[in-house]
A and B are shown apart, each in its own frame.
Chain A
Amino acid sequence: MSHSDLAEKFNTDFDKTTWHDESLWFVRQKRDRAVFQVEEFQELRELGSQIKDHTLSKLDYYLEQFEANAQANGVVVHWAADAHEHNQIVLDIIKKSGESCLVKSKSMLTEECHLNPFLEKNGVEVVDTDLGERIIQFLDQPPSHIVMPAIHLKKEEIGEVFHKHLGTAKGMSDPQQLTEAARQHLRQKFMAAKVALSGVNFAVAETGGIVVCTNEGNADLGIDLANVHIASMGIEKVIPTLEHLAVFTRLLARSAIGQPITSYTSHFTKPRQGTQMHVVIVDNGRTAQLGRPDFRASLKCIRCGACMNTCPVYRRSGGHSYDATVPGPIGAILSPNIDLKKHSSLPFASTLCGSCSDVCPVKIDIHVQLYKWRQIVSKSGDYSASKRLAMNVLGRVLERPQIYGRIGKVARRMLQITPHALSHAAALNPWAKARELPQPPAESFKEWYGKNRK
């Protein structure tokens, strides 16, 4: 289904749409307050943008530097060309360890690779340990937001889920009590698991270490209790030095949820004695995106989710309406690279208001790229043939002033004499479902001008 179909469904619940919009707007406002306290925030954005531009321009160099330094630290580095290779590498590591349970902190990359169903099919129990992730794992749903994966659920709905899966009292919806129930449940999983998987927020080429940012500390608990740590990262996560990391840690949490810094910013550089550390470096379409000059900058994304919180369309359609691993504005420019046919409606799920580009901490020109993806979609087979024809005809009319003038006059006249019930029939005219058409004037400006000025 297209974004517009799913968004229409979402909007049938007016009050829930209001709630969703206001919940995310609250986060956007928190972001504003945190950002405005930092006088040099716009300079930080520029720095972050330039560091990412630079790194992407020498990505092979920095990745190899990272690999060499990680290996020198005793880390096993794996390269995966696509999702399948990534999943197979992870499965092999788990199998070799002789374990059958994996605790996992938040990683959008593993969502992208559909790692969970793959491992489950192969007999591995996967426990997502981020609270939001665990909630949607119980519901067998994908995340609706990259930072707040269960933001589409109200606390009452979460109470229902926990009642069913964790045996909490029916009707209990107090967030603190629910969180405590999850904490007790997850503690058992942490204590039992010997293999932990984390994502990677930043991989530092200079040190060969990785950095994981969380607010719940679940990544640390999982990794510190396990014998094997697997870290999955996309190739775009590498940055040159620790000095550069400082720029991003200042940008990330402020942009994401209005905190000065994430509660945990954990550096993992080498395995503890007697344990293993693996890093899986994944391409999965990223080099294709890197090869598209118009869309390369989308790889600068640090996954803060600020573009989702600010997007007036995302807030009123929900993350699931994008039907993509990464929803919202950034998802709408990343996803067509992966599957243009499936995601062809996403570049059109925007008014091109530009708010996404203005909040982006690394200055990705998101709305410009949305416009450019539209140009590509229209040339593919995934664009409505009737719309294509209509645009072609419109173009031919608008380059011919006389024809334009005549057609305009006829159209206004027709609108004047068409009964309201017909001109405003919702089935024929989507505009009129919620809106009146403009009242057609007797004369156009051009006609008025001809009479009054010439």
Chain B
Amino acid sequence: MKIALFVPCYVDQFYPQVGIATLQLLEKLGCEVEFPLGQTCCGQPMANSGCEQDSVGTYHQFVRTFADYDHIVTPSGSCAYHVKKHFDIIEQTPAVRKVRENTFELIQFITDVLKVTHIGGTFAHQVGLHLSCHGQRGLHLANASEITPERGGQVSQILSTIGGLTLTNLTRNDECCGFGGSFCVTEEAVSARMGIDRLGDHLRNGTEILTGGDVSCLMHMEGIIRRQRWPIKVMHVAEILNQTLQSTTTIPKTLC
């Protein structure tokens, strides 16, 4: 199984630790992972701004980079969704189809492809899970509150296998955080307000560590947390899983 790691552009530049955690986690799970150096971005910044024609070159670069791999894994539901959903404007060659079919968000890859549903280890913290919309409603990684009252999904399921970890019971389980790509600057007022409200829910319900499957949402909320000096630490879900796997093997306890 040839697995490629896709580290989205802004993760590469600003959150390398998330890329490192993803790589190490996959390696610990027994995967041989390559990081093809030709990769840049999924093209979403231009496309969501209405300029998808400007992302065609980036789409082709993505396909060229990843066409030879069986699976493409990324710590971002949003980017995986974009490849699957919006690479439909370029010619659907076998390579394009293969790349679209085999691009996976990290947790989906772990649970659906690797069939690993138990991570174990310990992480003695109250963790607030932010369900990013593209992962949840786009890739169906979690139940949507519009469809069913049953909360649940792959990320919360896998986190709940970790000892000592308590998941925050949010008042609004899956409200958008307000990042929304260029929305965060073009609609700055609403975007910031949505982020403040989302974090208010976490603060009221005792979140110590905010996590999620999308760095973009976390970056936006971390920006507010640091501005407000709120007592919440932000970690991508790959960082938590990577730490707990370490804790079962080399480091026995206490993290952070």
A61, CB-defined interface residue at 8 Å: no
Please encode chain B, from 10 to 30, with 1 for each CB lying within 8 Å of some chain A CB and 0 for all others: 011111110110010000000
**Interfacial residues of chain B within 55-110, with CB under 8 A of chain A in the complex:** 55-58, 60-61, 86
Q: How many residues of B contact A (CB 8 A)?
A: 76
Which among B48, B60, B178, B186 is the interface contact of A371 at CB below 8 angstroms? B48
B141, CB-defined interface residue at 8 Å: no
Determine whether the beta carbon of B137 is less than 8 Å from that of A445: no
Cβ-closest chain A residue relative to B15: A438
B196, CB-defined interface residue at 8 Å: yes
Determine whether the beta carbon of A351 is less than 8 Å from that of B178: yes
Which among B20, B61, B138, B183 is the interface contact of A398 at CB below 8 angstroms? B61
Determine whether the beta carbon of A436 is less than 8 Å from that of B223: yes
| Total A-B contacts with CB atoms under 8 angstroms apart | 211
For B184, what are the chain A residues with a Cβ–Cβ distance below 8 Å? 431
For B37, what are the chain A residues with a Cβ–Cβ distance below 8 Å? 401, 446
- Nearest Cβ in chain B — how far from A268, in angstroms? 33
Which of A199-207, A296-304, A311-319 participates in binding chain B?
A: A311-319
For A377, what are the chain B residues with a Cβ–Cβ distance below 8 Å? 50
A288, CB-defined interface residue at 8 Å: no
Q: How many residues of A contact B (CB 8 A)?
A: 70
**Interfacial residues of chain A within 2-26, with CB under 8 A of chain B in the complex:** 3-4, 7-8, 10-11, 17, 21, 25
Which among B52, B138, B180, B188 is the interface contact of A375 at CB below 8 angstroms? B52
Which of B143-151, B157-165, B245-253 participates in binding chain A?
A: B143-151
How far is A388 from B52 in the complex, measured between Cα atoms in Å? 11
A404, CB-defined interface residue at 8 Å: yes
B119, CB-defined interface residue at 8 Å: no
Which among A36, A399, A439 is the interface contact of B57 at CB below 8 angstroms? A399
Which of A71-79, A134-142, A389-397 participates in binding chain B?
A: A389-397
B51, CB-defined interface residue at 8 Å: yes
Which among A348, A394, A433, A444 is the interface contact of B12 at CB below 8 angstroms? A444
Which of B39-47, B122-130, B205-213 participates in binding chain A?
A: B39-47
Determine whether the beta carbon of A445 is less than 8 Å from that of B12: yes
Please encode chain A, from 370 to 408, with 1 for each CB lying within 8 Å of some chain B CB and 0 for all others: 010011111000010001100110111011110010001
Determine whether the beta carbon of B186 is less than 8 Å from that of A312: no
- Nearest Cβ in chain A — how far from B138, in angstroms? 7
A453, CB-defined interface residue at 8 Å: yes
B31, CB-defined interface residue at 8 Å: no
Cβ-closest chain A residue relative to B217: A351
B114, CB-defined interface residue at 8 Å: no
How far is A434 from B179 in the complex, measured between Cα atoms in Å? 12
For A21, what are the chain B residues with a Cβ–Cβ distance below 8 Å? 197
A448, CB-defined interface residue at 8 Å: yes
Determine whether the beta carbon of A17 is less than 8 Å from that of B38: no
Which among A375, A394, A449 is the interface contact of B35 at CB below 8 angstroms? A449
B49, CB-defined interface residue at 8 Å: yes
Determine whether the beta carbon of A398 is less than 8 Å from that of B41: yes
A411, CB-defined interface residue at 8 Å: yes
B185, CB-defined interface residue at 8 Å: yes
How far is A391 from B181 in the complex, measured between Cα atoms in Å? 13
For A323, what are the chain B residues with a Cβ–Cβ distance below 8 Å? none
Which among A383, A391, A444, A448 is the interface contact of B46 at CB below 8 angstroms? A391
Which among B9, B51, B133, B178 is the interface contact of A395 at CB below 8 angstroms? B51
A358, CB-defined interface residue at 8 Å: yes
Determine whether the beta carbon of A445 is less than 8 Å from that of B133: no
A96, CB-defined interface residue at 8 Å: no
Determine whether the beta carbon of B149 is less than 8 Å from that of A36: yes
Determine whether the beta carbon of B16 is less than 8 Å from that of A395: no
For B138, what are the chain A residues with a Cβ–Cβ distance below 8 Å? 354
Most chain A CB within 10 A, of B7, B49, B60, B227, is at: B49
- Nearest Cβ in chain B — how far from A135, in angstroms? 26
B232, CB-defined interface residue at 8 Å: no
Determine whether the beta carbon of B190 is less than 8 Å from that of A431: no
For B38, what are the chain A residues with a Cβ–Cβ distance below 8 Å? 401
B193, CB-defined interface residue at 8 Å: yes
Determine whether the beta carbon of B175 is less than 8 Å from that of A312: yes
How far is A357 from B187 in the complex, measured between Cα atoms in Å? 21
For B49, what are the chain A residues with a Cβ–Cβ distance below 8 Å? 374, 378, 387, 391
Determine whether the beta carbon of A355 is less than 8 Å from that of B176: yes
For B187, what are the chain A residues with a Cβ–Cβ distance below 8 Å? 3-4, 7, 313, 348-349
B3, CB-defined interface residue at 8 Å: no
- Nearest Cβ in chain B — how far from A396, in angstroms? 7
Cβ-closest chain B residue relative to A429: B185
How far is A310 from B176 in the complex, measured between Cα atoms in Å? 10
Determine whether the beta carbon of A348 is less than 8 Å from that of B183: yes
Determine whether the beta carbon of A391 is less than 8 Å from that of B54: yes
Determine whether the beta carbon of B58 is less than 8 Å from that of A358: no
A437, CB-defined interface residue at 8 Å: yes
How far is A353 from B191 in the complex, measured between Cα atoms in Å? 12
Which among A355, A388, A448, A453 is the interface contact of B16 at CB below 8 angstroms? A448
A359, CB-defined interface residue at 8 Å: yes
Determine whether the beta carbon of B227 is less than 8 Å from that of A434: yes
- Nearest Cβ in chain A — how far from B79, in angstroms? 12
Q: Decide: A401 near B40, CB < 8 A? Known: A316-B193, A435-B192.
A: yes
How far is A380 from B213 in the complex, measured between Cα atoms in Å? 35
Determine whether the beta carbon of B149 is less than 8 Å from that of A395: no
How far is A383 from B17 in the complex, measured between Cα atoms in Å? 37
Q: Decide: A350 near B180, CB < 8 A? Known: A404-B9, A436-B227.
A: yes
B203, CB-defined interface residue at 8 Å: no
Query: Which residues of B approach A to under 8 Å, CB–CB?
Result: 7, 9, 11-17, 19-20, 23, 35, 37-41, 43, 45-58, 60-61, 86, 133-134, 137-138, 144-149, 172, 175-176, 178-197, 219-220, 222-224, 226-227
Task: Give 4 A-B pairs besides A435-B220, A440-B14 with Cβ atoms closer than 8 angstroms.
Answer: A32-B145, A358-B144, A392-B54, A438-B222
Query: Which residues of A approach B to under 8 Å, CB–CB?
Result: 3-4, 7-8, 10-11, 17, 21, 25, 32, 36, 42, 310, 312-313, 316-317, 347-355, 357-359, 371, 374-378, 383, 387-388, 391-392, 394-396, 398-401, 404, 408, 411-412, 430-431, 433-441, 443-449, 453
| 26 residue pairs A–B, Cβ–Cβ below 8 Å | A316-B194, A317-B190, A347-B50, A348-B187, A349-B190, A352-B133, A354-B137, A355-B144, A358-B144, A371-B86, A375-B51, A376-B50, A391-B45, A391-B49, A395-B54, A395-B58, A399-B58, A408-B13, A431-B184, A434-B223, A434-B224, A436-B223, A445-B19, A446-B7, A448-B16, A453-B23
